[in-house]
Every structure is written in C-alpha cells, then in structure tokens.
Amino acid sequence: MTENANAPVPAATAGGFSRGLAGITAANLVTKALGYARDALLVAVFGGGALADAYYAAFRLVNMFRRTGGEGAINAVFIPRLEEEKLKGPEAARGFFASSWTIVFFLSAALAAAGVLFRREFAALSAWGFRGSPDKFELTALLAAVLMPHILFVNVSALFTAALNSARKFFLPALAPAAFSLLIIGMLLSFRAGFFAQLDARGRIVLVAAAASASGLLQAGLLLPLLFRQGYGLKFSNPLSSLRAAPALLAAAPAAVTLAQDQVSMLVNTLYASFLPAGSITAIYNAARLVQFPVSLFAAAAATVSLPDLAGSRAAGDMRGFRERLAEAMSASWLIMLPAAAGIAVTALPICRALFEHGRFSPEQSAMTAGALFWLGLGLPAYGFNKVAASSLYALGRPKGPLVIITAQLLLNAVLCLAFMGGMGASGLMLATSLSSWAAAAAFLFDLKRTSGFSPFFHLPIWRPVISAAAAASTALLLKDLLAGAGPLAVTGAAVPGAVAVYFLALRLLKVEERRLLTAGRF
C-alpha cells in the first residue's frame, strides 16, 4: 500500500482515542468486577474440585466459540468492510449489515444445534481425560449442551457490537456482557438463600449453566434499541440473491483462531489439565480470568477502539495515520500490561487467597491457582501486543500473517505443555502459554515492520515504563512483606493501589507523555 498525503484523515485524535478507551474501559471494569464476584461465589458454593472442573471444562469449550467466532472474528472482518460500505452511502451499509445478520444468525444456530446433538464429542475436545470417570464426563457433556444456545445469542450480540463500534459507540456494547455475570450471581445467591433446596449439587450446577445460556439473549436485547437508532434492522436477506457479506465473513474462520489465540491456547491447556489432579482445570480457569482483567480492560479495549480508525486509515490510503493510530493502541496496551505482569509476579498468592479462599475453596487450591497465575502473568505484555497486532493486520487486509503466526504459536504451546506439565502441573501449562505468546509477539513485530513500517522501538516508549514498572513491583513487594501478618485481603488492598500510584507517579516523573492516553490529562 502506498501513502497518500492528500487522503482524508480519519477523525480520530489522541483525545478521541482516550475518550473511546475510557468509555470501553469503564464498562469493562464493571463487567470484570461482576465476573470476579461470580467466579468467587461459584467456587464458594461448589468448591474448587471435580464439580467445578466439569463446569469450567464445558464453559471453556463454549467460551472458545464465543470469544473466537463472536467477540473476536466478527469484529475483525466486519468493521473494515462496513467502513468501506459506509463510503458508498447509508443504504449500502444497511444492506451489508442485513447480509451479515443473516449469515451470523443461521450459522450460529446451526453450530449451537450441532453442539447439543454432538455434546459428547464436543466435551471430549476440552476434557478427554475425564473419559476415565464416566459420571464426570457425562456431566461435562450435559453442561456443554445446556450452554450451547449461548453461542447463538452472543454471536448475534457480537455483530450488533461491531456495528455500534463502527459508529464509535463503545460504552453500552462493552457493558452488555455484564448480563452474563448478573444472572449467574442471582442464581448462586438464590442457592445461598435456600431456594432449589430439593436439587443436589449436580442439579444446581446444571441450573447455573442454564442461567449462563439465557444471559446471551438478555445481552442481545440490551443492544437492540441503540442498534435501531443507528438505522440498522433485523431483516433477513435473500440467501440466493443478497449474501453480500459472505466473502468477508468467510474470513471469520481463520480470524477466529488468530484473534482469540488466548482462548484457543486455554482450550489446549484445559485438555491437558483434564489428565492432572482434580482442581487443575479450576486453577487454570481462575488464573486465566485474573490475567484477562488487564487484557480485556486495556489491550482488547485498545484494539476495539482503534480498529475502526485503523480500517478507515487503510481505506483512505493514509499509512502515516495508520501508524499513529497503531502507536496509540500499542502504547495504551504496553503501559498497562507491563506493570500488571510485574504486580502479578509479586502478589499472585495474596490475590488468589483474597478472591477465592472462601466457603469450600481450600488454601491448597489457592496455592495451585497462584502458581498458575504467576507463570501466566509473565506473558501479559505479549498477550496485549498480540491482540493489537492481529487486529491491525486485519485492518490492513493482511489475514495470512496472523493465521500463520498464531497457528505456529498454538503448536508450540501444545508441545511445551506436554514438556512442562509432568514436573510443574497446572503451572507448567501456564508457562507454556506465556513462552509461546512471547514467540508470537516477536513474529508479529517482524510482520508489522515489514507490512506497515511500524516499529515499537521507534514509535513506542519502551524503557521508561520498564523502570516505572520495576518501581511499582518493588513497592508491592515491600507492602506485602510489611503486612504479611495482616491477611490476604489487607495485603491485596494495600499492595495493589500502592503499586499503581507509584507506577503512574514514576511515569510522570520520567515524562512518559503517552500516559495521557490512559489518564486523559489527569496526571
């Protein structure tokens, strides 16, 4: 692609990016906080053993389809094409949406139906090791079947979200997934209040899965009014004459793998963990949930906010604008993922004890989860880089590079899991994921330099944030030692905010101007 000095520059500015990032981050913060409350309550009710393992194995499978086909791939392939259609006029954009809606609805419905009919085969993808325990495997298959309708609802919601993101509407689409946690929390609290007392633990966990599945319908419903106000409807296109989106959405298959590599990696890890002692699947699930907090809050948010403008720059032939938008997204991700990795390395155990060690969740399960969290957290900067890099290459119209890189990463992850799980258990699976993600980040760095001229060493602040993160981690370590006898909640409550304050103070003292992408000028 050539640079066009006279091309119209998208309306994005650093201030516009910051506002979009602030909106989606605020919504994600609410969603993630509810998610942690949900997970903590679930293990408090059911413990961290075999029953929770069955639920999380089933949910991991459904979540992979949700995060890959829906929240990842649809955004990546739909938004760049919709930006092009908008240049042709409102009718072209509405026609493209109708075509996309038709494809997404019927393909998702077919996938959900297949998941119900072939629930045992699907369950084996994430829990092959459970086949030696027939009752546990059958429960996993049943839970997978109950959860499968969620795929239809969430994929439809993902299409609505993509259309709204293209219209620069970020807050409500990012907040709508909170419906998932709210319904499950309500169900779990009803158990604690004495409702459904006639059900045994197995029946209750199935009821939780049903609430999770139904939450997707509520999520889609919350987005409909805003979608209608943007001029889009839910009219199906004639499949014989008007599937205009088919070529673009066919690209969602490889995009599904590349843009949700973390979810596919976790599915591989869950499969390996099904051969490990009880509690291993729950440990890696909870560790991944904690790591996903900064990833979803900032890295994925930065990728989401920047994608429409990256695609707009590419459509206009403005490669300088493309690099500027990419630098904003990469900077926002780097400035958060780096201190998050350092902080997790220092405070993994007290965080896990504070969040999960309640009810039937034991100290031994906290230690297992903390070990997995420590090794997975070391890959945080790479996860953030890969999220933004894959999205930007799709905005450039270059899907082959991400597909090759992520396929190689998944193969490397599978090999390393086999090598490390014997001596390290669940922690070894997380180390394998971190190492393979760093390898993928190096490959993405090379591909971005070759295709767009973008280099993090030229366009991003690298070393001053490293110094700031080291100061923050040292602060967390000091507070952890000083408050060792005060309990995990006190340690976490002091160490995490203290480290955050020191980090942003250090960024300011070292004059890292990119911090304004996160703080909107407040520091």
On whether residue 8 sits in a domain, the answer given is no
Rounded Cα gap, residues 431 and 426, in angstroms: 9
CA neighbor of 320 nearest in space, from 15, 6, 90: 6
Show the domain range for 441: 15-519
Structure confidence by residue, pLDDT tens digits, 267-293: 889 889 989 988 898 899 889 888 877
How many structural domains compose the chain?
1
CA neighbor of 516 nearest in space, from 504, 500, 506: 504
On whether residue 2 sits in a domain, the answer given is no
Structure confidence by residue, pLDDT tens digits, 213-266: 999 899 999 999 999 998 898 888 765 555 555 555 555 556 555 656 677 788
On whether residue 242 sits in a domain, the answer given is yes
On whether residue 475 sits in a domain, the answer given is yes
On whether residue 371 sits in a domain, the answer given is yes
Q: Which residues of the chain have pLDDT under 50?
A: 1-14, 70, 521-523
What's the confidence (pLDDT) of residue 374?
A: 96
On whether residue 10 sits in a domain, the answer given is no
Radius of gyration of the chain (CA): 22
On whether residue 7 sits in a domain, the answer given is no
Is residue 170 a contact partner of residue 19, using CB atoms and an 8 Å limit?
A: no
Local structure of residue 49 (DSSP, 8 states): S
Is residue 190 a contact partner of residue 196, using CB atoms and an 8 Å limit?
A: yes
What's the confidence (pLDDT) of residue 99?
A: 83
Rounded Cα gap, residues 214 and 216, in angstroms: 5
Residue type, 92: A
Rounded Cα gap, residues 256 and 264, in angstroms: 9
- Residues 229-255 as b/e (b if ≥16 CB within 10 A, e otherwise) read ebebeeeebeeeeebbbeebbebbebb
What's the confidence (pLDDT) of residue 361?
A: 83
On whether residue 512 sits in a domain, the answer given is yes
What's the confidence (pLDDT) of residue 155?
A: 86
The pTM for the full model equals 0.67
Place of tokens 């997975």: 376
Structure token pair of residue 265: 């990696």
What's the confidence (pLDDT) of residue 6?
A: 37
Structure confidence by residue, pLDDT tens digits, 99-141: 888 888 988 899 899 989 999 988 888 888 888 888 989 999 9
